[in-house]
Structure formats: C-alpha cells, structure tokens
Chain A
Amino acid sequence: MTTFWFIVIAFLWTGYFVLEGFDFGVGALLPLLSRSEADRRQVIGTIGPVWDGNEVWVITAIGAMFAAFPAWYSGLLSTFYLPMFLIVVGLIVRGVGLEWRGKVRSGAERALCDAGIVTGSVLTAFLWGAVFGNLLYDTALATVLGGLLSLSVAILHGAVFVTLKTSGPVRARARNAALAAAAVAVPVGIIALPSVPGSAMDVPSWSTSPWLWACALLAMAALTAGVALVWRRREGWAFTATASSIGLTTAALFGALWPAPLPGLTLAEAASAPYTLTMLTWIGLIALPGVLAYQAWTYWVFRKRLTADISAH
C-alpha cells in the first residue's frame, strides 16, 4: 500500500509537471512571442481555459502527500521553506495576472498583469527544478542545473504547445523559441545526466537500478527527438515527445526518492496507517477516472487552433 501511494503521488506530480509545464512555458514566453495585444491574447488563449485545472494537480499531489505521508509532506515543505514560499508567491502573481488581464482597462495595467504572469511562470518553473535538484544532490551546482533544466524544458514544452495551438506569426515565433529553448535544455540535460549515480540521498538504487538509468536516458532521447520533430514541423509528435520527456524525468526523480524521499526518512516511517491509505485508495479509484475524463474533455472542447482574430477564446 505504501508503494502504491508513492506511485500515485509520483503520478500526480508527473501530471502536474507535464500539464503545468507548458503553462509555465507559455507564461514565460508571453512577451517573446507577441508583437501586439492581439498576439498576447492569442498566446494566453492557448492556456486560458485549462491552466487553473492544471494547477490543481499540484494541490492534489501535495494534498495526497499530506494524507498518505504526513512526515514527507511536512519535512519537504519546512526544509525548503523559502523556495516553497517563493513558489507560492510565483503562483499567486501568475494566477492573478492570468485572471485579471482581461478585466483591467489600460495598457499599463495589462502590462503589469503580464509582468506577473512572466515573473510567476519563470520563478516557479525554475524553483521546482532547483528544489528537486537540491534535494537529490545537495549542491549549489545541482540546484542551479535542476532549475535551469526545468525552466528550459518548460519553455520548450510551452513553445511546442503554442505551435500546436496557434496559427500565423505567433506559431512561427513559437517554433523559433522552441529551438532556442532546446539549445539550453539539451546541453543542460547532457551535463546533468552523468551526475545521475551521484545522488546525495545515499540510496543504492541509483547505481543499482538500471531502470532509473533507462528513464533518464529515455528522457534525454525524448527531449532530443522533440527538438528534431519541431525542426521537421511535426508539432503533435513534438509535443508528445516533450511531454514524454518531462514524464520520464519525473519518473526518474521519484525513482531516486524511493524508498527514502528525504534524507533520514523512509516512506514506511512517513506513511499513514493502512486504514487511511485503503480508504483513500477506494475514493481515489472511484473519483480519478472521472477527473481525468472531464479534464480530457475540456482539452477536446478547446482543441481548435487559435487565430489572431478569434484569439479571445
């Protein structure tokens, strides 16, 4: 049951990074992809209906950690107090910016909302990578590399999403942005990869578990393939590739966190009682398919590409 809930939580984080990953990327790229207000609305419109639902993935992931592994939840959040605080601030300014930019009146106010969106997206995307990089390796270099990796991959992922969801000049600019982001993401990934066995967690699984290596290598392969597919203008496949790359990276990350998600704490020690886990399992099994179905339906409803003139939708 403990292992099962660890996998559930890893799944929720994976969902979060894959989905909110492109939201962050889109937010960070907002000024770079736009020359006019119509462009900006087109860019924001790609994530407008879905970003809030995507954000609930992290609320659920953290809520599930609280319920299933209280000591992991409290240890992670209190150990990384200031980064977590900054993440929350980032999510606040970004959320308010996204919600309010269509409700303010002047261009200056809208620019302020956009600043919130960009700052919040960049800050949060960087910090998630930095926190997990620091957690695994506990060095300044790993922290910076982790942050750069998550930020650059999010930007790449977001740029690919924009190419998939828009048309016209914005789409062309997004393609260039994707290639530029790849120029950072791929080298950072290559630098980070050899450090895989040297985890500070002192857990033998890194060096002994071949499948962790497989995840990490496949993640790199998917990232590279994504770039190649952007180059060849196969946007749907490129998005699949970048999404897979984020998913595989998250899988490798959580593989490294098993069975000790924090230094000096094992999952067995952190776990809630079997009764709680069993109850949550039943409710989760009943509810989660419904959640996945209606979220997927939302993407289906808003599946059409956005053009500049109907960008408001």
Chain B
Amino acid sequence: MDALDLARWQFGVTTVYHFLFVPLTIGLGVFVAGLQTAWYRTGKAHYLSLTKFFGKLFLINFAMGVVTGIVQEFQFGMNWSEYSTFVGDVFGAPLALEALLAFFLESTFLGLWIFGWDRLPKRIHLAAIWAAVIGSNLSAYFILAANAWMKHPVGYEVVNGRARMNDLWAVLTNSTALAQIPHVVAAAFVVAGGFVLAVSGYRILRERGVGLTGRPVTGAGSAIDGDTTVPLRRRTDMWRTSLRGALVMTALAGVVVAGTGDLSGQLLREQQPMKLAAAEGLTRDTDGAPFSLVPGVEVPGMLSLLAAHDPGATVQGVDDIQRRYEQQFGPADYTPNLPVVFWSFRVMIGFGMATVGLSVLGLWLTRKRRGRAGGRRTRNLGGTGAGSAGVGNGAAPPVPSWFARACVLALPLPTAAIIAGWLLSEIGRQPWTVQGELLTAASVSPGVSLTEVAISLSVFTVLYGVLALAEAVLMVRHVKAGPEQPPATPDHAIAAADPDAVRRTPTLMY
C-alpha cells in the first residue's frame, strides 16, 4: 500500500460519490423546469404543487452535487500533480470553460429561482430555472469532453514532456466525447426518471392507503398530509401526471442511451480495444467474437455484430493486446481489473435496460384507451418534458398498485447502472490516465505522503457517509410528508384578476 493506491481509492470514492448526485441534478432539474413550464402555460395548480415538491427534492440533492464537485476541481492538483502538469494545457481548458460558462449560470440562476418566487415576474422566474438547468447540462458537456480526451486524446502534440493543445475544436468535438456526452446525459435522465417514478409510485400507494406490501396502512392517505380539501382522486391524478411525465422521459432517454451506447461500443473497438476486450472477457483476438451474457452463456458473433456491425469482424483479445502494448510501450501490465470491468458492463446494461423496460411497460399500462390521446401525447413529448399527459380526452386508467410498487422497488436500478457504467469507463481505462500517453502510476503527486492521503481519504469517507445518510433522511421525510398545501383557488384565476396580487409563500427558501 503506497500513496498511489490511496490516491486512486480517494479519487474513486470521491468521484463515484459525486456521480451519485450529479445525474439526478441534471435530469431532475429539467423535469422540474418542465413542470414549471406546464404550470406557466396552463395555470393548473397541481403543476405548481409538483414543481415545488420535486423542486425541493432537487435542491436537497443539488447541494450535494455542488459541494462534492468542488473536491474534484482541487483534487487533480492535490493528488495528481504530474498528471495535471502534463495535461493542463489541454484538459484545463474545458474545466475553465465549465466554470465560466456553466457553473456561474447554474449557481447564479438557481439562487434567483430559489429566492425569486415572489420577486421576479413569472416568466423571468421560469427563465431562471431553465438557465440553471442549461448550466448543469453544459457542465456535463465540458467535463465529459475533458474526460473523453483522457480515453482518446486528440488535438494536441507532446512538447517537452507536456501535452500542448493545437486544436480546441478537435478537443470539444472528439468522437469519443460526442458519443459519451449524450450517453451519460441521457442516462442521467433515466436516473431522474427512475427517481420520479419511485417517488410518484410511493405517493400513489400512500394516498390509496396501501403500503408497499399491498396491505392497507392505517392513518395514511390524504388526511395525514394535512390536506382535506382536495379529493383523494384528484391527488392521485397529480401523481399520475408526474409518473406519466417520468415514464415518457425515461423511455425517450432510454432510446438515446441505447443508440449512443452502441456508438460508444464501436468507438471502443477502434480507440480502446483493451476496455472492450476486458468488458467481454475476450482473451484472444477473435473473428466473429461471441457476446457472453454471463460467463458460460454466449451468443455467437454477437460481440462482433455489436462492436463492428458485422458478425464476422475481428475483435481484439486481452492477451494479444497486452502483447502488442508491451512491444509498443515497453514491458508492463496493461490489463485493467478484468472482473470489475466485466461485471460493471453487465450491471450497466441489465439494470439500465430494466429501468427503461419498466418505463415502456408503464406507458402501455397507463395509455389512454380511447380518443385522440395518442396524437396529444406525441405532441407533448418534445415540449415540456412533463407534458400534459393524463389530461387528455381519453379515458385515463388508474395506475395499477402493483406497478406503483414496482416503481418504488426499482429505485436503485438506474443509479446502480450509471455507477457501473462509470466504473466500466474509468477502471477499463487503466492503467492509463491518458490512453497511450501517461500511466496512472506516473500521474500521482510525488510530494504528497501516504499519511496525508490516508488522512484525507478517511475524513472524506466518514464525512461523505454521514452526508449521504443525512441526504437520504431529508429526502425520505420530504417524500413522506408530501407537497405543501396547494392554493385553494387555481392560480391562473388570481393571476387573471390581478397579476400583482399573486403573493405565494416561497416554499423553497432557506
């Protein structure tokens, strides 16, 4: 055990932890902005209730994403000074742009949104949340472009032992980045979709007075939420709206994830053959390589078909790549941790597809059986995200309780999938920090001692554990409590009477 190992553990722990919160921020932010847009356009009170309810969950989570992100910005320099000095010329640019173009936008406008409920005109206030979520998504673009460069360095030359950028455009439009960014961002929408499904499912069950087990829960229901004015059925409809919105979001994002995942797979074959071979446990260069679902169960030619769109294509194997790398770069171990890469690939695909499958099933179960519902639904997809699904002319069947229960139980799946994808991507990159240019072992800060890293790693681990627990408690409590009292009169009625008279109590304050 030396400082390098601990520095790697620290990077792994802090980055994976950061990545627990960030996808939810990215996807849920857009979902909340969509809900608020629906409220702005229709004036329907339940959209406002949903906006505030999910807005608060978004903010609880947002805090964690921000503070754990600061660690990353410092950590490259603190623990990986050799890496930072080598790549700063190229890698630093997207990070600086991320802060300048994305983080300022995100944090400033989120502050305006939180505190601006009764300070800003409705239209500007809506624009503030959109500006903030655009900032979040832009930040994903820049950091993933920087990350893609580590796997497939482009637009640079090495001068005096340091990478020098000679084409910023090439860095920002790296083929690896263009496949990876929509893949990760869409996966973030699946994570957020799965989250909203679980929350909505829980609320539906609770307001029907049945628990997760299906037995009646005494004392639960709408009365416990301190809201006896709204009939039970309407409240359940509200959760149906958010559930439907999340189903649409998850299913659409799932299509993007699958498409870009396929693209990433093909790029892997050309750019990072070792990662592909490790993900498949393929030891030798193989023509018409099979795809192993689990060890022992293989689909012939499937890997070649997936990776090259040609069932007969050659896919390189771990041992042969190792031999070629030794010839090219000198003797060393160029093989990543095979079991971790192999299994994270399967967890990513299995759990991810399960979530998307659940959403497709849900769309079918909650489809409108009559009327022009289909046409309406399609039109709503591109608009607000949340859309006004469930408000159409067709008969809207109630969400089956067993499906609501499945949504709650599926909560961990998309997060596990996206974390597994991250592990596949980053552990599969080892032993390189910059593919073909810089080894992880040569990247670490030479002047930072084992003790120093041990201190920071243990404090981060304990602090992060406590904070995760606190966040979970805050979220569960908020979900159990349900939305705060919706306005007795529909908002648009007040707004129409006197726009200046609308003075809502901000629920999203400090």
**Which A positions have Cβ atoms within 8 angstroms of B?**
41, 44-45, 48-53, 55-56, 59-60, 62-71, 73-79, 81-82, 84-85, 87-89, 91-93, 95-96, 98-105, 272-273, 275-276, 279-280, 283-284, 287-288, 291, 294-295, 298, 301-302, 312-313
Docked-complex contact B164 and A275, CB < 8 angstroms: yes
Query: Smallest CB–CB gap between A136 and chain B, Å?
Result: 19
Partner of B87, one of A49, A70, A283: A70
Docked-complex contact A53 and B88, CB < 8 angstroms: no
Is B299 positioned at the interface, with any CB of A under 8 Å from its CB? no
Is B71 positioned at the interface, with any CB of A under 8 Å from its CB? yes
With CB as the reference atom, state the residue of chain B lying closest to A41: B510
Query: Smallest CB–CB gap between A149 and chain B, Å?
Result: 23
Docked-complex contact B455 and A82, CB < 8 angstroms: yes
Query: Smallest CB–CB gap between B283 and chain A, Å?
Result: 38
Is B375 positioned at the interface, with any CB of A under 8 Å from its CB? no
Within 8 A of A (CB), among B441-483: 445, 447-448, 452, 455-456, 459-460, 463, 467, 470, 474, 477-478
Partner of B111, one of A68, A76, A101, A298: A298
Query: Smallest CB–CB gap between B88 and chain A, Å?
Result: 2
Docked-complex contact A44 and B103, CB < 8 angstroms: no
Q: Looking at chain B's contact residues, is the secondary structure mostly helix, strand, loop, or mixed?
A: helix
Is B63 positioned at the interface, with any CB of A under 8 Å from its CB? yes
A98 CA to B60 CA in the complex, in Å? 11
Docked-complex contact A301 and B104, CB < 8 angstroms: no
A60 CA to B119 CA in the complex, in Å? 28
Task: Place the interface of chain B in its size category.
Answer: 35 or more
Is B112 positioned at the interface, with any CB of A under 8 Å from its CB? yes
A312 CA to B510 CA in the complex, in Å? 7
A195 CA to B89 CA in the complex, in Å? 36
Docked-complex contact B111 and A91, CB < 8 angstroms: no
A301 CA to B120 CA in the complex, in Å? 8
User: Top 8 closest A-B pairs, CB basis?
Assistant: A70-B88, A77-B77, A67-B92, A99-B63, A74-B81, A66-B92, A74-B84, A60-B99
Within 8 A of A (CB), among B53-110: 56, 59-60, 62-64, 66-68, 70-71, 73-74, 76-93, 95-101, 103-105, 107-110
Known contacts A49-B111, A52-B111, A313-B119; A77 and B96 CB within 8 A of each other: no
Docked-complex contact A63 and B96, CB < 8 angstroms: yes
Partner of B510, one of A60, A85, A87, A98: A98
The listed residue with most A CB atoms (<10 A of its CB), out of B91, B97, B119, B455, is: B97
A70 CA to B88 CA in the complex, in Å? 5
Is B361 positioned at the interface, with any CB of A under 8 Å from its CB? no
* Chain A residue contacts of B509, Cβ below 8 A: 48, 102, 312-313
A97 CA to B463 CA in the complex, in Å? 13
Docked-complex contact B108 and A53, CB < 8 angstroms: yes
With CB as the reference atom, state the residue of chain B lying closest to A77: B77
Docked-complex contact B93 and A67, CB < 8 angstroms: yes
Docked-complex contact A48 and B111, CB < 8 angstroms: yes
Is B506 positioned at the interface, with any CB of A under 8 Å from its CB? yes
Known contacts A60-B100, A70-B92; A52 and B66 CB within 8 A of each other: yes
A128 CA to B372 CA in the complex, in Å? 63
Docked-complex contact B78 and A302, CB < 8 angstroms: no
Is B378 positioned at the interface, with any CB of A under 8 Å from its CB? no
Q: Looking at chain A's contact residues, is the secondary structure mostly helix, strand, loop, or mixed?
A: helix
Docked-complex contact B79 and A78, CB < 8 angstroms: yes
Is B165 positioned at the interface, with any CB of A under 8 Å from its CB? yes
* Chain B residue contacts of A84, Cβ below 8 A: 74, 77-78
Query: Smallest CB–CB gap between A134 and chain B, Å?
Result: 15
* Chain B residue contacts of A312, Cβ below 8 A: 506, 509-510
A3 CA to B470 CA in the complex, in Å? 46
* Chain A residue contacts of B452, Cβ below 8 A: 81-82, 85
Query: Smallest CB–CB gap between A301 and chain B, Å?
Result: 6
* Chain B residue contacts of A301, Cβ below 8 A: 112, 116, 119-120
Query: Smallest CB–CB gap between B125 and chain A, Å?
Result: 10
Docked-complex contact B510 and A102, CB < 8 angstroms: yes
Partner of A273, one of B95, B107, B164: B164
A75 CA to B70 CA in the complex, in Å? 18
Query: Smallest CB–CB gap between A66 and chain B, Å?
Result: 4
Known contacts A45-B510, A295-B104; A275 and B92 CB within 8 A of each other: no
Query: Smallest CB–CB gap between B206 and chain A, Å?
Result: 19
Docked-complex contact B447 and A74, CB < 8 angstroms: no
With CB as the reference atom, state the residue of chain A lying closest to B474: A103
Docked-complex contact A81 and B104, CB < 8 angstroms: no
* Chain A residue contacts of B97, Cβ below 8 A: 63, 280, 283
8 contacts between A and B (CB under 8 A): A50-B111, A78-B445, A96-B64, A100-B63, A276-B90, A280-B97, A298-B111, A312-B506
